[in-house]
A = this chain, B = another copy of it.
Amino acid sequence: MEYSLDHLGSIADRHIASLHYPTLAPGLFEPVKYTFTTGGKRLRPALCMAVYAALSGKAPEEIVSQASAVEMFHNFTLLHDDVMDRAEVRRGLPTVHVKWNTATAILSGDAMLSLAYEMLADGAADRFARLFAIFSKTAMEVYEGQQLDMEFESRDDVSVDEYMQMIALKTSVLIGCACSLGAEMAGAATDIAAKFYEYGLKFGLAFQMRDDWLDTFGDPAVFGKGIGGDILCDKKTWLRTMATAAAPAEVSAISGEKLAPAAKIEAMTTLYRKLGLDKACDEAARAYSNEAIAALEGVTMPDEAREFFGNLAIKAATRDK
Residues in chain A within 8 A of chain B (CB atoms) = 22, 24-25, 27-28, 80, 83-85, 102-104, 106-107, 109-111, 113-115, 117-118, 121, 128-129, 132-133, 136, 139-141, 143-148, 150-151, 165, 169
Contacts and interface: CB of A to CB of B under 8 A. Distances in A.
B103 A150 contact: yes
A178 B234 CA distance: 48
A139 B28 CA distance: 13
A307 to B, nearest CB: 36
B84 A22 contact: no
Contact of A165 (B24, B106, B117, B140): B24
Contact of A24 (B84, B106, B113, B144): B144
Residue among A22, A24, A80 with max Cβ neighbours from chain B (10 Å): A24
Nearest to A121: B132
Given A84-B106, A111-B143, A113-B113, 7 more contacts: A22-B140, A24-B165, A80-B106, A111-B140, A114-B136, A121-B132, A121-B133
A84 B103 contact: yes
Count identical subunits in the complex: 2
B102 A151 contact: no
A110 B110 CA distance: 7
A113 to B, nearest CB: 6
A93 to B, nearest CB: 21
Contacts of A115: 140
Contact of A144 (B25, B144, B169): B25
Contacts of A109: 106, 110
A42 B139 CA distance: 26
Nearest to A144: B25
A53 B20 CA distance: 37
27 contacts: A22-B140, A22-B141, A24-B141, A24-B148, A25-B144, A27-B147, A28-B143, A28-B144, A80-B106, A80-B107, A80-B110, A83-B103, A84-B102, A84-B103, A84-B106, A106-B106, A106-B109, A110-B113, A110-B143, A114-B136, A114-B140, A114-B143, A117-B136, A118-B136, A121-B129, A121-B136, A128-B132
